[in-house]
């Protein structure tokens, strides 16, 4: 047999695995030190009550003959797809149920969707951005080019008509920078994609953090998007489902064959999200669930403010935190991203994510997450301030 040689073109390990290894090493050597993890964007607040009540009820149903369920529909139960449909309707986006696909999270679908595209496509990825977009395309041997995001364009690359891209990734609010495209900027990307007959893969995993009603939370709020864009969303950050696993992907029928192809792909390679989890996800969209998750999101936003206020006092340039759970800062004293990672870990036992892990333009920057507990966020920022103020 021949192995897939494209894997040789990947970084040695996935960004967050590399960080986890480094932190585990540190902890093994310094068992007495309390490490505060503000690296990977993993939530710390528990699932809300509306969700756990629904989960318990679903577990009980599974233990009773008359309500037990086996295989479910690969694309998700209608009870959940209808809730997602309603959620979009609240933002004036009309979707048919067969355009909504329930998944085990955005990360898997962002990788799996590439099954639908020929290897011979050029992929445009913002730099810096979530590393999964690049890695999954490298694995498939696809050509990846980059759209530069930097301080000059507020980390929001604009359309360059001279660039020939067939698949375009957009992550808004952006991971790692927290930058959000406004409607006019998305209009430009949609126009470009329609002209080129390109596909936009829109990652909306952080939409619930957008606090300005005028900023789009779904690309389908913009006319023409249903003719060129697939949208990915997840309950991981919205409702604390990082360990529970549930998300949804929208493949509009107006994308032609792609909708049927995705159904074909999912029915062949995926057996659906567990019934119990889908019942928990359904509860996220209930009145009670929405109220409870908003409280959690506000808690994380208050953490972001604590981080941002600290950085202001230390005179450290940063953005983000307002429409996203991430704070994107410039490494102090001209340190590069990994130097700063080591420095913070060794001197303050704070774990963050080196900007260089998100792309070349991330070098010299660093990402902190607001998903920690309040207590840990405050303690981390006190330690930080001791070093830099």
Does 318 interact with ligand MLT (rule: CB under 6 A)?
no
Nearer to ligand MLT, 117 or 130 (CB): 130
Residue 175 makes contact with ligand MLT by CB under 6 A:
yes
> Could you say which residues in the range 126-165 bind ligand MLT, by CB under 6 A?
130
What number of chain residues touch ligand MLT (CB under 6 A)? Answer: 6
Query: Cβ–Cβ contacts within 10 Å for residue 49, how many?
Result: 12
In sequence order, what are the beta bridge partners of 124?
Answer: 145, 168
Per DSSP, 9 falls in state G
Single out the residue of 19, 36, 40, 171 in contact with ligand MLT (rule: CB under 6 A): 40
Asked if 178 touches ligand MLT (CB under 6 A), the answer is: no
Whether the upstream peptide bond of residue 173 has omega within 30° of 0, thus cis, is yes
**Beta strands 350-351; 326-330: pairing state:** unpaired
Shorter beta-carbon distance to ligand MLT: residue 105 or 252: 105
Q: How far apart are CA 4 and CA 138, in angstroms?
A: 11
**Smallest distance from ligand MLT to CB 205, Å:** 7
Nearer to ligand MLT (CB atom), residue 159 or residue 327 = 327
Residue with smaller CB distance to ligand MLT, 108 or 286: 108
Q: Which of 199, 211, 297, 209 is nearest to 256 (CA)?
A: 199
Q: How far apart are CA 150 and CA 169, in angstroms?
A: 17
Which residue of this chain has its Cβ atom nearest to ligand MLT in the complex? 41
For ligand MLT, the binding residues in 90-129 under the rule CB under 6 A are: 107
Does residue 82 contact residue 73 with C-beta atoms inside 8 Å?
no
**In the Cβ-directed half-sphere of 286, how many Cα atoms lie within 13 Å?**
17
Phi, psi for residue 6 in degrees, rounded to 5: -60, -25
Least distance to ligand MLT, CB of residue 126, Å = 14
Measured from the Cβ of residue 42, the count of other Cβ atoms closer than 10 Å reads 15
Contact 247, 103 (CB under 8 A): yes
Residue 41 binds ligand MLT (CB under 6 A): yes
Shortest distance, position 42 Cβ to ligand MLT, whole Å: 6
Is residue 37 a contact point for ligand MLT (CB under 6 A)? no
| CB of 248 vs ligand MLT, minimal distance in Å | 15
Q: Does residue 320 belong to the site contacting ligand MLT (CB under 6 A)?
A: no
User: In whole angstroms, how close is the CB of 63 to ligand MLT at the nearest point?
Assistant: 32
Tell me how far, at minimum, the Cβ of 320 lies from ligand MLT, in Å.
12
Scanning 39-47, 212-220, 221-229, 315-323 for contacts with ligand MLT by CB under 6 A, the matching segment is 39-47
Nearer to ligand MLT (CB atom), residue 77 or residue 340: 340
Bridge partners, 167 (sequence order)? 123, 199
Residue with Cβ nearer ligand MLT (42 or 82): 42
Q: Which helix (H) or strand (E) covers residue 277, if one does?
A: helix 275-284
Cα separation of 305 and 378, whole Å? Answer: 11
Residue numbers at the binding site for ligand MLT (CB under 6 A): 40-42, 107, 130, 175
């Amino acid at each position: 047999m021949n192995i897939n040689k494209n894997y040789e073109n990947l970084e040695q390990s996935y960004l967050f695995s590399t960080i986890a290894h480094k932190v585990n090493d540190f902890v093994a050597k310094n068992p007495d030190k309390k490490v505060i993890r503000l690296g990977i964007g993993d939530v710390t607040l528990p699932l809300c009550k509306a969700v756990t009540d629904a989960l318990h009820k679903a577990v009980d149903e599974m233990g009773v003959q008359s309500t037990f369920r086996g295989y479910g529909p690969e694309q998700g139960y209608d009870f959940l797809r209808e809730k997602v449909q309603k959620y979009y309707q609240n933002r004036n986006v009309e979707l048919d149920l067969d355009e909504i696909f329930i998944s085990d999270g955005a990360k898997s679908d962002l990788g799996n969707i590439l099954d639908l595209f020929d290897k011979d496509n050029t992929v445009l990825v913002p730099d810096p951005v979530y590393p999964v977009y690049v890695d999954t395309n490298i694995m498939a041997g696809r050509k990846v080019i980059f759209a530069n995001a930097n301080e000059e364009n507020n980390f929001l690359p604009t359309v360059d008509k001279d660039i020939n891209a067939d698949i375009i990734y957009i992550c808004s609010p952006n991971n790692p920078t927290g930058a959000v495209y406004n409607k006019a900027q998305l209009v430009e990307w949609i126009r470009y994609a329609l002209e080129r007959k390109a596909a936009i893969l829109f990652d909306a995993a952080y939409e619930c953090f957008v606090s300005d009603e005028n900023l789009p939370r779904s690309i389908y709020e913009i006319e023409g998007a249903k003719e060129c864009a697939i949208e990915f969303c997840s309950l991981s950050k919205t409702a604390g489902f990082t360990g529970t696993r549930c998300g949804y992907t929208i493949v509009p029928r107006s994308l032609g064959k792609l909708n049927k192809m995705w159904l074909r792909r999912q029915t062949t390679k995926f057996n659906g999200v567990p019934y119990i989890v889908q019942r928990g996800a359904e509860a996220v969209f209930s009145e009670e669930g929405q109220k409870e998750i908003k409280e959690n999101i506000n808690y994380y936003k208050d953490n972001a403010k604590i981080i941002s206020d600290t950085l202001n006092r230390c005179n450290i340039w940063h953005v983000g935190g307002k429409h996203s759970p991430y704070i994107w800062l410039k490494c102090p004293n001209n340190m590069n991203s990994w130097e700063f990672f080591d420095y913070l870990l060794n001197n303050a036992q704070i774990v963050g994510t080196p900007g260089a892990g998100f792309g070349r333009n991330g070098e010299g920057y660093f990402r902190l997450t607001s998903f920690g507990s309040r207590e840990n966020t405050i303690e981390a920022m006190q330690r930080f301030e001791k070093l830099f103020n």
